[in-house]
Amino acid sequence: MLMVDIIRKKRDGNALSKEEIDFFINGYVKGEIPDYQVSALMMAVFFKGMNDEETHLLTDAMLHSGEVLDLSAISGFKVDKHSTGGVGDKTSLVLTPMVASLGVPVAKMSGRGLGHTGGTIDKLESFKGFSTSITNEQFINNVNTIGIAIMGQTKDLAPADKLLYALRDVTATVDNMSLIASSIMSKKLAAGADGIVLDVKSGSGAFMKTDEDAFELAKKMVSIGKQAGVRTMAVISDMDQPLGRNVGNAMEVTEAIDTLRGKGPEDLKELCLTLGSYMVYFAGKAGSTKEARSLLEDSLSSGKALDKLAQFIEAQGGSGEDVYHPENLPQAKEKTDLTADDDCYVSSIMSEEVGIASLLLGGGRRSKEDVIDLSVGIHLDKKVGDKCQKGETVATLYGNDKKKMEDAFERLRGAYSFSKDPVEAGKLIKGIVE
């Protein structure tokens, strides 16, 4: 079989067979097929697409390109959660202790941030001493004893996706539905969960810019999960403005803690309760999602979920006390306010621009090697639909470097649009695919 024939076949709009997909994935992982040929194939897929069968075959080939985790040493039904990525998305920090506090085992692989989106591991490292570099034995032991553990993605898990994702990132071929669906689902299925709850973001700050595309991606991923015998559902949620009010690592942790204390923003709480109720229901800890939601609300109001976060931080090297004293987390030294020029309403906040402003402050990475400043970030005092009076603070930047703050300020100013007339924010939960 020749790679050039596979590229030509896709270029001409034909469906690839299992043998052809296995050939290029195996050859690429072994280093036998060069980047330039795989780039050409990715571009052909970008323009010609893949049908459902090809998408399933690609997922399967990537899933079996490395180790498939065996979580059978963990008792109970393991439910994983994945978000397609957004700005201010600290959902995992709230959701995982919440569901773990109800006895749902959480054995999660998380990633770091790149570009304008953040990553759970970076955020968790705001707790001094906290580490996700734990052994598989420690990981399994922590889940069995305290009900929760998070580790970084091992290099052996779906290595084909790791290679392909890095290549797609630099060849403008990320935002293809089949490539995204197979990339996410191959990793999730290799991570060994019994159930998967997906948060598919839709809007300006997401890969899927329209609800129609977000629903299509959700359906593809749910179908892949089901075919693999894993209970899977997806929530389609709004990313036309950042989630919650804080963007930036330690600031997002603080907001997650506030939410676990019952004092967080409504949108974040609602999304966590929606995703969490499916996780608890799938795990058999409630007879319906309605019952699961009420159990989760109790775990928030009783402080059980907050205590679970403290146990988890302590078990992975941090100090549980910091959960009760978030003022111990890294804090930036300077702040600048963005204020309203006139009386107005906020009509939109471009999430991606807010994410870039946080990156410019030093809170994100341009390349994998960058060291990030965990203390910096942005607080959105006003969100879409909020009324502002002339001179009132719209958003606050927290930073440590005047020049970086000036650059970020300009970007943040450009992210906001205003209107003289009242504006209604879009719905947070746009739909559910089961």
- Kindly list the catalytic residues: 82, 161, 168, 183, 187
Q: Which stretch binds ligand URA (CB under 6 A): 68-76, 179-187, 364-372, 424-432?
A: 179-187
Farthest-apart Cα atoms in the chain, separation: 68
Does 281 sit near ligand URA (CB under 6 A)? Answer: no
One of 110, 132, 178, 183 touching ligand URA (CB under 6 A): 183
Nearest-approach distance from CB 15 to ligand URA, in angstroms: 21
Q: In terms of CB distance, is 140 or 184 closer to ligand URA? A: 184
Near ligand URA by CB under 6 A: residue from 10, 42, 65, 85: 85
Burial of 212 (0-12, 13-18, 19+ CB in 10 A): exposed
Contact between 55 and ligand URA (CB under 6 A)? no
Of 203 and 330, CB closest to ligand URA: 203
CB of 215 to ligand URA, least distance (A): 17
C-alpha 16/C-alpha 405 separation (Å) is 49
Say whether residue 184 binds ligand URA (CB under 6 A).
yes
165 binds ligand URA (CB under 6 A): yes
Write out the H or E segment, with its range, that includes residue 283: none
Give the bridge partners for 238, in sequence order.
202
Per DSSP, the residues of 175-201 read --HHHHHHHHHHHHHHTT-SEEEEEEE
Q: Considering the complex, what minimum distance in angstroms separates the CB of residue 63 from ligand URA?
A: 13
Instruction: Decide if 361 contacts 355 (C-beta within 8 A).
Output: no
**How many other C-beta atoms can be found within 10 angstroms of the C-beta atom of residue 146?**
16
Separation of alpha carbons 340 and 342, rounded Å: 5
Amino acid at site 290: K
Candidates 55, 59, 84, 246; binder of ligand URA (CB under 6 A) is: 84
- For ligand URA, which residue has the nearest CB? 183
Query: Which of 174, 228, 425, 432 is close enough to bind ligand URA by CB under 6 A?
Result: 174
> Does residue 88 touch ligand URA according to CB under 6 A?
no
Candidates 31-39, 178-186, 272-280, 323-331; binding stretch for ligand URA (CB under 6 A): 178-186
Please tell me whether residue 205 binds ligand URA under the rule CB under 6 A. Answer: no
Enclosing H/E stretch for 49: none
- Amino acid letter for position 311: Q
Q: Quick one: 83 or 311, whose CB is closer to ligand URA?
A: 83
| Position 180 contacts ligand URA (CB under 6 A) | yes
Q: How far is the CB of 349 from ligand URA (least distance, A)?
A: 22
Least Å distance between CB 393 and ligand URA? 34
Q: Do the beta carbons of residue 109 and residue 82 sit within 8 Å?
A: no
357's tokens? 């402003």
Q: How far is the CB of 207 from ligand URA (least distance, A)?
A: 6
Distance, first Cα to last Cα, the chain: 39
Let me know if 38 is exposed, middle or buried by CB neighbors in 10 A (0-12, 13-18, 19+): buried
In this structure, the strands spanning 79-83 and 148-152 are: unpaired
Coil, helix or strand at residue 90: coil
Residues that bind ligand URA (CB under 6 A): 84-85, 165, 174, 179-180, 183-184, 207
